[in-house]
Amino acid sequence: MSELDALKERLSNLQRDALAAFDGAADLAALNQLRVAYLGKKGALTEVLKGVGKLAPADRPVIGKFVNQTKQALAEALQQAEAALAVQAKAARIAAERVDVSMPGRRRPAGALHPVQQGLDDLTSIFAQMGFAVAEGPEIEDEFHNFDALNISPEHPARAMHDTFFMQDLRAGDDGEPMLLRTHTSPVQIRAMRRLLDNGGEPPLAVVAPGRVYRCDYDVTHSPMFHQVEVFKVDRDVSMAHLKGVLQHFLSAYFEKEVAIRLRPHYFPFTEPSAEVDIGCVFCAGKGCRICKGSGWIEVLGSGMIHPNVLNAVGIDSNKFSGFAFGLGVERMVMLKQGIPDLRLFFENDVRFLRRMGVAL
């Protein structure tokens, strides 16, 4: 066999082996390795072509044409194999990433309103439906709005350091009176009445004022920060009968059933006459239980007719106008409605409690 025929045979065998290898490549990475092995600078085809130099000059154009045919056949086969493997790879990726739209999605835990916020919303909405306008005020107050204008005398225990958070480094007014964290939402009553008069208006005025308040107290039923709702109305000829009617409607609406109420004489410096308001125990229906201590009644809020001194302090003529006011603790109302035994549960951020008591958004 001549050198030319031997070289042709080697090229034919190389082409056969390469085509079979390209066709059997498992993936694009394996195909690339085969390309380097057969067509690379140090590949099998380069090794075979080293024998071209041994041929006679007349045979070299013949083998050159054969080499070009072999290279073209390998390149076409490589291209076809690469296209086929790319289609397979794409199909495999689509199959792996396929999403079954009929399957239920991964659900995230739903958020919920904190029970105190829900209580604030419920209480405020009841009074808003009764025609009371919602008002808010600052949580850092001066002594005039928090005490003086509300007829709370300088010697009253509430003005002592052990009851009130005073801010000694923050002072207001010409005399530098200390500021404080408000102890109730009643200062909003003063601000709302003064705002009405400053704008040239006069009663009637009906306001509900929700918000945070602060006192030096912490136990099972008390927290240094809690929420109150102040409700008041000022107009001509407002009486205790109006107060009782509003209380009856509000308490029945909040507890979602008709509840019995009673007003017991009491003393508050900002109302006269004043009354504690009790409701028939919502747990035992007035029969007597541990919650109501066997009395059949539960105290829920303090109320009364706005003291003439309070009206006069803001510039409202107490001879022409009268009004009622009452305030309630939001946490206490929510505890009674939901049967929550410990006030501190509201502030511990226990997710189990919040999920059970919260209202889904």
Q: Average pLDDT of each block of 10 consecutive residues along the chain (361 residues)?
A: 73 83 85 82 74 70 77 84 87 84 80 87 96 95 93 83 79 72 95 95 96 82 86 97 97 94 95 96 83 89 97 95 96 90 83 74 48
User: How many domains is the chain built from?
Assistant: 2
Decide if 25 is inside a domain: yes
Same domain, 243 and 303: yes
Structural domain that includes position 339: 113-360
- Write the CA distances from 138 to 143, 145, 161, 269, integer angstroms: 13, 10, 20, 22
How far is the C-alpha of 161 from the C-alpha of 141, rounded, in Å? 15
- Cα dihedral angle (352, 357, 360, 361), rounded to 10 degrees? -100
Three-state DSSP state, 323: strand
Same domain, 67 and 139: no
Same domain, 17 and 44: yes
pLDDT (0 to 100) of residue 92: 85
Same domain, 185 and 227: yes
- In this structure, the number of other CB atoms found within 10 A of the CB of residue 72 comes to 10
Three-state DSSP state, 272: strand
Decide if 102 is inside a domain: no
Same domain, 213 and 183: yes
Same domain, 231 and 119: yes
Decide if 195 is inside a domain: yes
Describe the strand order of the beta sheet including 166-172 as a list of residue ranges. 140-141, 177-181, 166-172
pLDDT (0 to 100) of residue 220: 62
Same domain, 13 and 138: no
Residues 6+ apart with CB under 8 A from 250: 126, 127, 130, 231
